[in-house]
Amino acid sequence: MYQTTYHRASSVDEAASLFAKGSESKFLAGGQTLLPVMKQRLASPSDVIDLGRIKELQGVELSGDTLTIKAGTIYYDIMTNADVKKAIPAIAHLTSVLGDPAVRYRGTIGGSIANNDPAADFPAALLALGATVKTNKRSISAEDFFQGLFTTALEDGEIITAVSFPVPAKAGYEKMRHPASRFALTGVFVAQTKSGEVRVAATGASQSGVMRVPAIEAALKANWSPSAIDGVSISASGLLADIHGTAEYRANLVKVMAQRAVAAAG
Amino acid sequence: MGVEGIGASVVRKEDKRFITGKGRYVDDIKLLGMTHAHFIRSPHAHAKVKGIDSSAALKMPGVVAVLTGQQIVDDKVGNLICGWAITSKDGSPMKMGAWPAMAPETVRFVGQAVAVVIAETKNLARDAAEAVVVNYEELPAVADVHAAIKSGAPQLHPEAPGNQVYDWVIGDEGATDAAFSKAANVVKLDVTNNRLAPNAMEPRAAIADYDAAEEHFTLYTTSQNPHVARLVLSAFYNIAPEHKLRVIAPDVGGGFGSKIFIYPEEMVALWASKKVGRPVKWTGDRTEAFLTDAHGRDHVTHAEMAFDAQNKILGLKVKTYANFGAYMSLFSSSVPTYLYATLLSGQYNIPAIHAEVIGVYTNTTPVDAYRGAGRPEASYLIERLMETAARQLKVDPAQLRRSNFITQFPHQTPVIMAYDIGDFNASLDAAMKAIDYAGFPARKAKAKADGKLRGIGLSCYIEACGIAPSKAVGSLGAGVGLWESAEVRVNPVGTIEILTGSHSHGQGHETTFCQLVAERLGVPISQVSIVHGDTDKVQFGMGTYGSRSAAVGLTAILKAMEKMESKAKKIAAHALEASEADIVIENGEFKVTGTDKAIALPMVALAAYTAHNLPDGMEPGLKESAFYDPTNFTFPAGTYICELEVDSGTGKTSFVNFVAADDFGRLINPMIVEGQVHGGLVQGIGQALLEHAIYDASGQPVTASFMDYAMPRADDVPSFNLSHTTTLCPGNPLGIKGCGEAGAIGASAAVINAITDAIGTNNLEMPATPDRVWRTIHAA
Ligand SMILES: Cc1cc2nc3c(=O)[nH]c(=O)nc-3n(C[C@H](O)[C@H](O)[C@H](O)COP(=O)(O)OP(=O)(O)OC[C@H]3O[C@@H](n4cnc5c(N)ncnc54)[C@H](O)[C@@H]3O)c2cc1C
């Protein structure tokens, strides 16, 4: 790791002003992505601003048909939260298969979506559920927020404060775990909104990050059942290929995971 | 004898310090004035080093020195050696490419060191390393064994034309051809034994401390065999004579073979410590471990097995290409030859065997012994062949094995090994019963009705352990003897220290070795301590690998114990005015048999050291040592059966059951044995399903971190169902065979045989990743 200056912020405003003072500042949440990268000397922030102790970034709220998860909430707290389990159990399940216990005790929803790894789990949930990302400056729809591999709509120094999910009628998430990292080799989140809209998002599959899967959405709109997807064909072109899965295999997984997610959603 | 003697599952003494974080590893040691080394490693698989400019680095804060490969050559530090000479079939010696500790001219794998920065802290050394400019001229590289032997392939070493290290044969080719000409059926199989990265939990580390006044070196290092390290460093590397070099291997966090070898980093640390006049510490990180710890396996094999009309094996032909990586590591040459081809008879009566092994250089990390070393490759091959044969011949795989088992012992195989004892039917029976083999077809049918692909796979492994009779290995080319030494010191107060040349890096010697003392003297194990891992304390030793510590190391302790007991009995007899022949040892006392006359061990010890009243002519003291050289290998064997299901939608495997029936001879501590089997099985399953050290065509490693290299986790493996069928080893007085490698040797074939049974194919390579299994199912 290179030399850096560590700051612990106690409020979002303080964090934003500390950030602005540094020449090349970085926010630190769970550190599960940032710290390994710094240890490998692949990142060298001048200042690291820790968001971990900011109270306003912690917690979950269920109000009417909206579930709000504050950005600094760790996966373990999301996984075990009663409101999450009641309103959108698919999110509780998603966090239970995210990484390993060490990652779940440190990693945060804000860090995950800010990082926008093409194989991260939460981006699929946000996109399928039509969530809204709240920052210290504005609200951004999930659709607009994720902009391809490791790229988001966030501006320099902008802080995610929370994510709001509309509570769906039905939702499910299934994931084939990457055998080494436990990220999604491919994960699919399916949702049926209360107004009857069907939204399906896949992560870990596409070369351009999290994506909607219109063919599966159409099939499920016509018939919300796993077998409705039997006839859908997913093209391997544009999909990721590496030592753990060919593009064809990932195309298959998009379909199979969608079927299992629908089965899980009921 | 007693609750802590042989056969008792005594809780491990060493675990208190390990579990509470009080273990003392090399990296925990800090010496006064210590500097830190960081190596500059090649990013290229093959390149010429045209120049190294360290001028900017030398001006950076905290930098003590930047030392290069040219300097190490100029100082006449020896090239790394390979300690087992193999002769090719044409009579020529193996072709050794020179391996300097840091490359002066040419780098041949990604991660090979070209220079080292020595600085006040590790971080300052890293900072300065980034300022060192190495000018490389890239050369074409080759990583794949088949590509490397093609004409026109990039050449690694001028000493080894065609990238060939050796072309070695074993067995009777004429007899094998004759057997095949009589065959009713021939079964053929191509298998790849995937390359593995050993991944001990503790990365390698070294601290070298040169004392200029005494001209003496101390090396703290992560070694499985500190005396071998001292011997090799002194005899071949021109760094320090043996009496001026102390090697200490303190707590070592796992080895699996990878810490047998003497690596460039230890050599450089010693040399650099003298050059800079201060202690030098190097602790590898995980990436360095992936790049530079000797890898394991990496064979490509074609094999054919001939059967007669009654399904009896007539002969076996094997041709194996072994990828050695860029250089020949310390024992690498022996792994695909004498540790592999000599086990190709498996548990079977095979009248004729012929095997050819071609060793090949590639631009990859050197390959050497890794848990099992050669024997997993042999066992995997034979057990895949037997399963394939059963399918081709349409016979039950258990029955095919049974009808070919060796049942008479001793048994001389056609490939050197003489099996001393075993009962292969007993372990097969035990495993079949444990898994309810007879009920499998019904379970498979039920699974099928539920839309699941279920399979069962057997693996009847045998291995040669207790490595090894010195005369035998010497005649085969080994550069060292493989005996073990021990010393028993009874202190004047009756406590006991056992000094052993074995080295514990996870095995639990501090407990099991005490159990032998408890057994013989009836004293609690708390009264005994085990001293190991320091060449200044322990007279000599060959270290721990090849499941040899109990069969060889503990037998050496037994020999020393016997000498000590004999002297102690004389002292006791003298004190009790009895005949030496009437003295028995019970519960820590020397008793006159049939009387109530007794003298406690501490009194005997005290008498030995006060020497006020010893038998005439007896030397004072109670301390004996012994060397033990085994007369044969030991042959642990057993049957593993795996039952699993494959998800046809994803290709993912889930275990239903895994049973292991092992014959390890006598067990010292069944709990520790169970732990050894669990660990071995997990490594075998890891090889079968997850692990693979991969290079791209240009020799760049693709799996140099845990984010890409899939290590098995607890939820990747089943709960194991273990049992033992025991035949005592006749070759050593304790009847021990060894248990450290069995799991890793036998497990992978059982897993692959079960998957291929489930999905109905014979051809499936390891690791059977979900992607690969899915593609196999859907290609069919
Ligand atoms: C072994 C391992 C396995 C993993 N497996 C999975 C997995 O299965 N699925 C998965 O989805 N992820 C996985 N991850 C990644 C994990 O989820 C990380 O926690 C996540 O990517 C980053 O979250 P963090 O809280 O740790 O953020 P940090 O690492 O602290 O930060 C990541 C980035 O986000 C920025 N950031 C953090 N919080 C904010 C904020 N509130 N506003 C603006 N920017 C912010 C930081 O500046 C930084 O650039 C794994 C990680 C590891 C190490």
Q: Is residue B150 part of a domain?
A: no
Q: Where are the alpha helices (DSSP H) in B185-323?
A: 226-237, 264-276, 286-292
Token pair, residue A202, equals 């896949």
| Domain parsing of chain A, residue ranges | 5-50, 57-166, 170-265
* pLDDT exceeds 90 at position A196: yes
Question: What is the side-by-side order of every strand in the sheet holding B453-462?
Answer: B453-462, B637-646, B653-663, B721-724
Same domain, B613 and B647: no
Look up residue A169 and give its amino acid: A
pLDDT at position B306 = 98
pLDDT at position B240 = 92
Q: Is residue B191 part of a domain?
A: no
Of the three residues B565, B594, B628, the one that is the final residue of a domain is B628
**List of E strands, B194-267:** 205-211, 216-221, 245-248
Residue B593's domain comprises 483-628
Same domain, B742 and B654: yes
pLDDT at position B3 = 83
Round to whole Å and give the CA distance between B11 and B511.
Answer: 8
Q: How far is the CA of B696 from the centre of ligand 1 (A)?
A: 29
End-to-end CA distance of chain A: 48
**List of E strands, B524-622:** 528-531, 583-586, 589-592, 598-600
Are the Cβ atoms of B692 and A181 closer than 8 angstroms? no
**Interface mutation vs chain A, best among B771, B774, B775, B778, most A CBs within 10 Å:** B771
Token pair, residue A157, equals 């120094």
Nearest chain B alpha carbon to A174: B650
* pLDDT exceeds 80 at position B743: yes
Write out pLDDT tens, residues A233-255: 999 999 999 999 999 999 999 99
Round to whole Å and give the CA distance between B579 and B570.
Answer: 8
Q: Which candidate, B113, B160, B110, places its Cα nearest to that of B138?
A: B110
Of B123, B127, B769, the CB nearest to A244: B769
Residue B774: CATH number of its domain: 3.30.365.10
Token pair, residue A97, equals 């298969």
Are the Cβ atoms of B694 and A243 closer than 8 angstroms? yes
Round to whole Å and give the CA distance between A263 and A205.
Answer: 21
Q: What's the mean pLDDT in B432-460?
A: 97
In the block, which residue shows the tokens 């990693």? Answer: A107
pLDDT at position B2 = 58
The verdict on the CB of residue A52 being under 6 Å from ligand 1 is no
Write out pLDDT tens, residues B338-352: 999 999 999 999 999
Same domain, B437 and B534: no
pLDDT band at B569 (very low <50, low <70, confident <90, very high): very high
Q: What's the mean pLDDT in A55-60?
A: 98
Q: Is residue B123 part of a domain?
A: yes
pLDDT at position B468 = 87
Q: Is residue B3 part of a domain?
A: no
Answer yes or no: are the C-beta atoms of B108 and B326 closer than 8 Å.
yes
Q: What's the mean pLDDT in A120-131?
A: 98
Look up residue B633 and give its amino acid: F
CA distance, residue B59 to nearest chain A CA (Å): 18
The secondary structure element, H or E, covering residue A162 is: strand A160-166
Question: Residue B431: left (phi > 0), alpha (psi -120 to 50), or beta?
Answer: alpha
Q: What's the mean pLDDT in A63-89?
A: 98
Round to whole Å and give the CA distance between B621 and B611.
Answer: 8
The verdict on the CB of residue A34 being under 6 Å from ligand 1 is yes
The verdict on the CB of residue A121 being under 6 Å from ligand 1 is yes
pLDDT at position B780 = 62
B694: exposed, middle or buried (Cβ count in 10 Å: 0-12, 13-18, 19+): middle
Q: What's the mean pLDDT in B568-585?
A: 97
Q: What's the mean pLDDT in B237-252?
A: 96
Task: Name residues whose C-beta falls within 8 Å of residue B535's C-beta, 6 or more positions apart in sequence.
Answer: B226, B227, B230, B245, B246, B247, B248
Mutate to test the pocket of ligand 1, among A27, A79, A189 (most ligand atoms within 8 A of CB): A27
Write out pLDDT tens, residues B599-647: 999 999 999 999 999 999 999 999 999 999 999 999 999 999 999 999 9
A244 to chain B, any CB pair closer than 8 A? The answer is yes
Round to whole Å and give the CA distance between B66 and B63.
Answer: 8
Q: How far is the CA of A29 from the centre of ligand 1 (A)?
A: 7
**List of E strands, B647-769:** 653-663, 721-724
> Which long-range contacts link B274-278 to residues 24+ away (Cβ below 8 Å)?
B274/B210, B274/B212, B274/B217, B275/B65, B275/B67, B276/B35, B276/B64, B276/B65, B276/B118, B277/B210, B277/B212, B278/B33, B278/B34, B278/B35, B278/B64
Are the Cβ atoms of B771 and A244 closer than 8 angstroms? yes
Q: What is the CA radius of gyration of chain A?
A: 18
B18 to chain A, any CB pair closer than 8 A? The answer is no
The verdict on the CB of residue A99 being under 6 Å from ligand 1 is yes
A136: exposed, middle or buried (Cβ count in 10 Å: 0-12, 13-18, 19+): middle
Of the three residues B583, B607, B628, the one that is the final residue of a domain is B628
Same domain, B699 and B615: no
CA distance, residue B767 to nearest chain A CA (Å): 10
Q: Which candidate, B490, B433, B424, places its Cα nearest to that of B460?
A: B424
pLDDT at position B752 = 98
Cα A49 to Cα A12, A18, A74, B775: the distances in Å are 11, 7, 17, 47
What percentage of chain A carries pLDDT values higher than 90? 100
CA distance, residue B375 to nearest chain A CA (Å): 27
Q: How far is the CA of A45 from the centre of ligand 1 (A)?
A: 16
Nearest chain B alpha carbon to A246: B771
Write out pLDDT tens, residues B171-202: 999 999 999 999 999 999 999 999 999 999 99
Q: How far is the CA of A120 from the centre of ligand 1 (A)?
A: 9
Q: Is residue B224 part of a domain?
A: yes
- The gap from C-alpha B377 to its chain's centroid, in whole angstroms, comes to 13
Are the Cβ atoms of B706 and A181 closer than 8 angstroms? yes
Of the three residues B601, B628, B655, the one that is the final residue of a domain is B628
Are the Cβ atoms of A181 and B774 closer than 8 angstroms? no
Q: What's the mean pLDDT in B29-39?
A: 98
Q: Is residue B428 part of a domain?
A: yes
pLDDT at position B413 = 98
Are the Cβ atoms of A243 and B708 closer than 8 angstroms? yes
Answer yes or no: are the C-beta atoms of B651 and B772 closer than 8 Å.
yes
A177 to chain B, any CB pair closer than 8 A? The answer is no
Are the Cβ atoms of A180 and B711 closer than 8 angstroms? yes
What percentage of chain B carries pLDDT values higher than 90? 98
Measured between beta carbons, which residues in chain A are less than 8 angstroms from residue B130?
A: 41
Q: With the C-alpha atoms ordered B549, B552, B555, B559, is the resulting torsion angle positive or negative?
A: negative
Same domain, B642 and B773: yes
Same domain, B687 and B590: no
Q: How many residues does chain B have?
A: 780
Answer yes or no: are the C-beta atoms of A193 and A223 closer than 8 Å.
no
Write out pLDDT tens, residues B350-405: 999 999 999 999 999 999 999 999 999 999 999 999 999 999 999 999 999 999 99
Q: How many residues does chain A have?
A: 266
* pLDDT exceeds 90 at position B683: yes
Token pair, residue B62, equals 């905290």
Size of interface A-B (CB pairs under 8 A): 53
Are the Cβ atoms of A249 and B771 closer than 8 angstroms? yes
pLDDT band at B442 (very low <50, low <70, confident <90, very high): very high
Mutate to test the pocket of ligand 1, among A26, A28, A32 (most ligand atoms within 8 A of CB): A32
Same domain, B287 and B341: no
Q: Quote the number of domains for chain B.
A: 3
Token pair, residue B29, equals 């040691």
In the block, which residue shows the tokens 């290092």? Answer: B221
Q: What's the mean pLDDT in B117-125?
A: 98
Query: A5-50 in CATH: which number?
Result: 3.30.43.10
Are the Cβ atoms of A179 and B708 closer than 8 angstroms? no
Token pair, residue B25, equals 């590893």
Round to whole Å and give the CA distance between B712 and B681.
Answer: 11
Answer yes or no: are the C-beta atoms of B50 and B108 closer than 8 Å.
no
Answer yes or no: are the C-beta atoms of B343 and B417 closer than 8 Å.
yes
Strands B106-107 and A60-63: what pairing? Answer: unpaired
Q: How far is the CA of A33 from the centre of ligand 1 (A)?
A: 5
Same domain, B458 and B607: no
Are the Cβ atoms of B770 and A176 closer than 8 angstroms? yes
Same domain, B438 and B532: no
Same domain, B280 and B357: no
Round to whole Å and give the CA distance between A111 and B705.
Answer: 22
Q: How far is the CA of A124 from the centre of ligand 1 (A)?
A: 15
Mutate to test the pocket of ligand 1, among A8, A13, A33 (most ligand atoms within 8 A of CB): A33
Question: Residue A8: left (phi > 0), alpha (psi -120 to 50), or beta?
Answer: beta
DSSP category for residue A146: B
What percentage of chain B carries pLDDT values higher than 70? 100
Helix axes A214-222, A247-265, angle to 10 degrees: 30
Question: Could you confirm whether domain A170-265 is CATH 3.30.390.50?
Answer: yes
Strands B721-724 and B133-138: what pairing? Answer: unpaired
Q: What's the mean pLDDT in A82-89?
A: 98
pLDDT band at B294 (very low <50, low <70, confident <90, very high): very high
Cα B258 to Cα A73, B201, B223, B300, B544: the distances in Å are 42, 11, 9, 22, 11
Of A1, A180, A260, the CB nearest to B708: A180
Residue B77: CATH number of its domain: 3.90.1170.50
A179 to chain B, any CB pair closer than 8 A? The answer is yes
Same domain, B610 and B644: no
Same domain, B227 and B362: no
Q: How far is the CA of A177 from the centre of ligand 1 (A)?
A: 17
Are the Cβ atoms of B769 and A179 closer than 8 angstroms? yes
Measured between beta carbons, which residues in chain A are less than 8 angstroms from residue B770?
A: 176, 179, 185, 245, 249
Question: Residue B348: left (phi > 0), alpha (psi -120 to 50), or beta?
Answer: beta
* pLDDT exceeds 60 at position B1: no
Task: Give the 3-state secondary structure of residue A56.
Answer: helix
Q: How far is the CA of B350 from the centre of ligand 1 (A)?
A: 57
Q: What's the mean pLDDT in B740-748?
A: 97
CB half-sphere exposure, A246, CA atoms < 13 A: 15
Round to whole Å and give the CA distance between B266 and B237.
Answer: 11
Preceding omega of B468 cis (within 30 degrees of 0): yes
Query: A57-166 in CATH: which number?
Result: 3.30.465.10
